[in-house]
Amino acid sequence: MISDLNVLDMTLLVWLGSLGAGLLGALTGLGGGVVLVPMLTLLFGVDIRYAIGASLVSVIATSSGAAAAYVKEGFTNIRVGMLLEVATTVGALVGASLGSVLSGAVVGVILGVTLVYSAYLSTRPQHEEAQDAQPDTLACSLKLNGCYPDAGSWKAYNVYCVPGGFGVMFVAGTLSGLLGIGSGAVKVLAMDTIMRIPFKVSTTTSNFMIGVTAAASAGVYLNRGYIDPGLALPVMLGVLIGSITGTRVLARARTQTLRVLFAIVIFFLGIQMIYKGLVGGF
């Protein structure tokens, strides 16, 4: 039994599990937190609030390095990210506050539903939205339209429906603070589907944002004593190494196949989280 292992063996297993979570998260674009929190709670028996605290620390670490690279390459829309970060940061603070008040069972059920929804999103085909509509007046006023490198040249795009994207970003931030996940799937959904930003820009801008969102909610968890350094350190190192490895493997991997396999895994994790929450397993 895992509970019978000594501290060193437990730490090694947590690190290996976190490495796998970071690898899967990088390969699918949904982030390691989607796997990490249910793994720690279901497999290792960690209290869900401490699992969320460790996951938030890992999100901060893994977001920072990749975000800098994407900004340098010109993919990230910094103006969009800074605007939407207002909504996600406020949402993260709300979610973190709720997470310290709600019971573990309720948080577990919400996480389970989010995992099932993320499983669905991970199998959706990636697409580029048509950019033939008239530019959005508000987006033009805020200078949110931009361009990104594509096939050796720069491709221009327009941003649409800024208020709708702003509202969904608040929900994404709340989920991030409450569940300890990056909520990358919801953020990409807001930018890709609602604001009609190209997928490559949506994913890189989401990566730019999730570190700040996680930092806001991590402060609340730290203040309430839910971040254990002995747990957060191996989790952070494992997810960081797994994410770096995943970005290198991604170029040679069949992404759609990986997304389907990942969807199956987190779907069953989600069902298990919902079941444990309903029967009082947390």
Tell me the pLDDT of the chain (282 aa) as tens digits: 455 567 788 889 999 988 888 777 666 656 667 778 888 888 888 888 898 889 888 878 777 666 676 777 788 899 998 999 899 889 888 888 887 778 778 888 887 887 787 777 666 655 554 555 677 888 888 889 988 887 778 888 889 989 998 998 898 888 878 877 766 667 777 787 788 888 778 877 887 787 777 787 888 888 888 899 999 999 988 888 887 777 666 556 565 666 676 678 778 778 877 887 788 665
Give the pLDDT confidence score for residue 122 in this predicted structure: 63
The single-letter code of the amino acid at 247 is T
Give the pLDDT confidence score for residue 15 in this predicted structure: 92
- Alpha-carbon span 176 to 89, nearest angstrom: 9
109 in Cβ contact with 273 (< 8 Å): yes
Domain boundaries, the chain: 2-279
Give the pLDDT confidence score for residue 187 in this predicted structure: 76
The model's pTM: 0.73
Helix (H) or strand (E) holding 167: helix 162-179
Give the pLDDT confidence score for residue 234 in this predicted structure: 93
Helix, strand, coil percent values for the chain (each to nearest 5) = 75, 5, 20
Give the pLDDT confidence score for residue 196 in this predicted structure: 85
Give the pLDDT confidence score for residue 1 in this predicted structure: 44
Question: What distances in angstroms separate CA 18 from CA 55, 84, 200, one per listed residue?
Answer: 9, 29, 26
Residue 23, token pair as written in the block = 């690898």
Q: List pLDDT tens digits, range 131-181.
A: 556 778 888 888 899 888 877 788 888 899 899 989 988 988 888 788 777
